[in-house]
């Protein structure tokens, strides 16, 4: 069974479009995250979310918004896509106390 799964794996879209990436975890974790990995391989935290708190990295444009329909899902919505949004986006999950984060397989977003 896949622990953290995200869809789609690849996403190619035009500038100005709105798109969503879905993430689901079946580990029973209470915290989920979105990371952006750019061409230099830097892993930058975008959001972390549990049922009590959403923490937003202050550098993330408000075109990006997380939506959590339930504890096992954290989807990422992106409005008005820009060329600079092209990157690999990773979803991850963990327990709120200090344990490892498990990553999804990543979504490679290409904005043309």
Partner 1 sequence: GENVEQHPSTLSVQEGDSAVIKCTYSDSASNYFPWYKQELGKRPQLIIDIRSNVGEKKDQRIAVTLNKTAKHFSLHITETQPEDSAVYFCAARGNQFYFGTGTSLTVIP
Using an 8 Å Cβ cutoff, are 89 and 35 in contact? yes
Q: Which of 31, 97, 56 is nearest to 23 (CA)?
A: 31
Helix, strand, or coil (residue 38): coil
| Shortest reach from residue 26's CB to partner 1, in Å | 16
Return the number of the residue (36 or 111) whose C-beta is nearest partner 1.
Answer: 36
| Shortest reach from residue 69's CB to partner 1, in Å | 22
Return the number of the residue (48 or 75) whose C-beta is nearest partner 1.
Answer: 48
Whole-Å CA distances, 100 to 29, 32, 33, 41, 70: 11, 12, 12, 20, 21
Residues near partner 1, by CB under 8 A: 33, 35, 40-45, 48, 55, 57, 90, 92, 94, 98-101, 103-106
| Shortest reach from residue 15's CB to partner 1, in Å | 25
């Amino acid at each position: 069974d896949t622990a953290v799964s995200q869809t789609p794996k690849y996403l190619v879209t035009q500038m100005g479009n709105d798109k969503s990436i879905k993430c689901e975890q079946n580990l029973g974790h209470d915290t989920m995250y979105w990371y952006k990995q750019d061409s230099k391989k830097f892993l930058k935290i975008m959001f972390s979310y549990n049922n009590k708190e959403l923490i937003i990295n202050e550098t993330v444009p408000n075109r990006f918004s997380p939506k959590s329909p339930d504890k096992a899902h954290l989807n990422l919505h992106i409005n008005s896509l820009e060329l600079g949004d092209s990157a690999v986006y990773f979803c991850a999950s963990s327990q709120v106390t200090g344990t490892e984060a498990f990553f999804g397989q990543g979504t490679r977003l290409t904005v043309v």
